[in-house]
Structure 1
């Protein structure tokens, strides 16, 4: 009987080598970092040349998905299945210390490894793209015009099981040498957040169309990472 675990195995590939106390290998910590984000960076190699592509992504269980044009070099390369590394980073604060060496940032990051594969089945692709919309904007897909067959064919969806992963978190703020705290030098943590602004309605919006109830959480001033986690739970629950 295989051992049941709630953590990714620590390997040479996902081991946190520097400041290992910041490392996170449990599913819950990695998933929380992923689910608070909308954009990831997908790294891969084509003919010996490394590339890194930013793209929107979403998670279902231990699977990650992203999409793009069927003409995309990245996606065409990943079609037969290729090793990729998917990363996500949240910048939470700037840290000003009393010496240059101790200047830093507070952050949350995740690095996921696996083999990317294309989703060929048209029905499965359509379902995944619908779920992508609802993952970001709960309940919105039911209000939209259905995608046409041509639109689905022009869109490629890539999936990846997370074989290995690690998270890394710094949230300590200023960390100076003990003898430096007495120096008359300004030091502080400066919070950094992405927040929602006031919606700018399409100038060709049909008169009388109201703001969707499903977007009630997208109120000006709210943090985007909080909304993303909230939207994920509304769509998928606590998985």
Structure 2
């Protein structure tokens, strides 16, 4: 079960709240983009970052001189948002048009991963999540590259999940309006691969489809 704190309590649309930890994991794993809030010298800022999950932790990485990472590594309180858009809800009235979505909000503080061996392990897990088997084919990061990379982690101990999948909610008075109503699904399609122009001859196209399930383009 997800945590229940003042910050994770969903008041608007409370019926859309979900408390299953696995649903939180699924949203993060499918999104891989976190919008991260930070209060800077010039005011609040929200920056999108690549983010991935290993067990109950979320990781982000970047250059050592990154303004965002410099602030987060100080242990400042922050908020992460992951959102997946699933479709438009088209009603018979303008007022009841809406959307289907899955969203997660994570609260907490980042900590720094300094050990290069641990950085290497976690970064390679990220590569395997987006392209299974790829770490066996490529040059892995060297010590200079790992030292130049900042890696931060935040635990999923305070998080909320909200899922909108309610369908069309027309007023009874509008049911006789002769307009089409229903759902306009929105789907992300992954692939096909686009090779570089200088690829060596004889290199076979890898199969990364198992990482994406029904989102893979052949489905």
Q: TM-score, normalised by structure 1?
A: 0.84
2: CA distance between counterparts of 1:68 and 1:104?
36
Inter-partner Cα distance in structure 2 for 1:163 and 1:222: 30
Distance 1:34 1:145 in 2: 27
- Tell me the residue number matched to 1:217: 210
Q: Which residue of 1 aligns with 2:107?
A: 113
1:222 CA displacement = 4.5
* TM-fit CA distance, 1:154: 2.1
Q: Match for residue 14 of structure 1?
A: 8
Paired with 1:147 and 1:119, the residues of 2 have a C-alpha distance of 16
1:133 aligns with 2:127: yes
Alignment length (residue pairs): 217
Query: Which aligned runs of 4 or more in structure 1 are off by greater than 4 angstroms?
Result: none
SS at the partner of 1:217? helix
**Which whole-Å deviations, capped at 9, do the CAs of 1:44-98 have from their partners, x for residues lacking one?**
2123721111111111121100111212100111122221111111110111112
The match for 1:206 is 200
Q: How does 1:151-162 map to 2 (within 5 A)?
A: 151-162=145-156
> Is this contact kept in 1: 2:128–2:134, CA < 8 A?
yes
1:170 aligns with 2:164: yes
Whether the 8 Å contact between 1:95 and 1:105 is mirrored in structure 2 is: yes
Looking at structure 2, the residues matched to 166 and 144 of structure 1 have their Cα atoms a distance apart, in angstroms, of 37
The CA RMSD over aligned residues, in Å, is 2.0
Measure the CA separation in 1 of the matches of 2:204 and 2:191: 18
Structure 1: 5+ residue stretches without partners: 1-6, 228-239
Asked if 2 retains the 8 angstrom alpha-carbon contact of 1:41 and 1:54, the reply is: yes
CA-CA distance at 1:145 after TM superposition: 0.5
Corresponding residue of 1:60: 54
How far did 1:127 drift?
A: 1.2
Asked if the contact 2:130/2:211 (under 8 Å) is kept, the reply is no
Which residue matches 1:143? 137
CA distances 1:174-221 after superposition (whole Å, capped 9, x unpaired) = 1111221111123221000110232211001111111124x24379x9
- Within 2, Cα distance between the matches of 1:170 and 1:216? 27
Deviation at 1:104, TM superposition (A): 0.2
Mapping 1:59-98, distance limit 5 Å: 59-98=53-92
Q: Which moved more, 1:102-111 or 1:25-34?
A: 25-34
